[in-house]
C-alpha cells in the first residue's frame, strides 16, 4: 500500500475518534474516489497517481466554488472551501509563482521551444515537476506568457 494511502487511512481513523464529522466526510470522499479508480482500472494507485487525483478533486471544488458564488450560495461555497482545506493537507507544499516561473523557463530552455506550437512539449516536461504543488491553470498561463 502506498504511503499516502496509509496516511489517508490513519487520518480517517483519527477523524472518527475525534468525531470530526466534516473532516471525516471529506476523507471518506477521497478514499471513495481512490477506491473507484482502483476498481475501474483494476490497479493499485501509487502516490503520484493519488496526488494527481487529489489535485483534480481540488480543481473540481474550486470550479464549484465559482459556480456557487455566481448563484449566490455562499454557504455551499464555504463547504467546498472546507473540503479543499482538508484535501490540501495531503498535497505537498504549494510552489510560489517565482518557483513555477523558474521551472517553466528551464523547461522552455531544455525543450528548445520557440512558440505556441511547442506548448505541449513544455507542459509535458513541467507537469511531473509541479503536479499537486501548483494549479495547472496558472502553470499553463505562465507557459503561454513565456512562449507567446
User: Are 105 and 29 contacting, i.e. CB atoms less than 8 angstroms apart?
Assistant: no
Burial (0-12, 13-18, 19+ Cβ within 10 Å), 35: exposed
Summarised one tens digit per residue, pLDDT across range 91-119 is: 888 888 888 889 888 888 888 877 788 88
Give long-range contacts, CB 8 A cutoff, 24+ apart: 135-143: 135/59, 135/62, 136/55, 136/59, 137/59, 138/97, 138/100, 139/100, 139/104, 142/97, 142/100, 142/101, 142/104, 143/104, 143/107, 143/108, 143/119
Helix ranges (H only) for 3-147 are 3-18, 21-41, 47-70, 74-88, 97-111, 119-130, 136-147
Surface-to-core class of residue 115, CB atoms within 10 Å of its CB (0-12 exposed, 13-18 middle, 19+ buried): exposed
Q: What is the CATH number of domain 97-147?
A: 1.10.10.410
* Domain extent listing, the chain: 3-88, 97-147
DSSP-derived 3-state class of residue 95: coil
At the topology level, CATH places domain 3-88 in Hypothetical Protein Yqey; Chain: A; domain1 (1.10.1510)
Residues 38 and 44 sit within 8 Å (Cβ to Cβ): yes
Q: What is the pLDDT of residue 117?
A: 82
pLDDT of residue 84: 94
Task: Report whether 122 contacts 143 (CB < 8 A).
Answer: yes
Residues of the chain where predicted confidence (pLDDT) is lower than 50:
none
Amino acid at each position: 500500500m502506498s504511503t499516502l494511502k496509509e496516511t489517508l487511512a490513519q487520518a480517517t481513523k483519527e477523524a472518527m475518534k475525534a468525531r470530526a464529522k466534516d473532516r471525516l466526510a471529506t476523507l471518506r470522499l477521497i478514499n471513495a474516489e481512490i477506491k473507484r479508480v482502483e476498481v475501474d482500472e483494476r490497479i493499485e494507485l501509487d502516490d503520484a497517481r493519488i496526488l494527481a487525483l487529489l489535485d483534480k478533486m481540488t480543481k473540481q471544488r474550486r470550479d464549484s466554488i465559482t459556480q456557487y458564488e455566481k448563484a449566490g450560495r455562499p454557504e455551499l461555497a464555504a463547504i467546498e472551501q472546507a473540503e479543499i482545506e482538508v484535501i490540501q493537507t495531503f498535497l505537498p507544499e504549494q510552489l510560489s509563482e517565482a518557483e513555477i516561473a523558474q521551472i517553466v523557463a528551464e523547461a522552455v530552455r531544455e525543450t528548445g521551444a520557440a512558440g505556441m506550437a511547442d506548448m505541449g512539449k513544455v507542459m509535458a516536461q513541467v507537469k511531473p515537476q509541479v503536479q499537486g504543488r501548483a494549479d495547472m491553470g496558472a502553470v499553463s498561463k505562465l507557459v503561454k506568457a513565456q512562449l507567446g
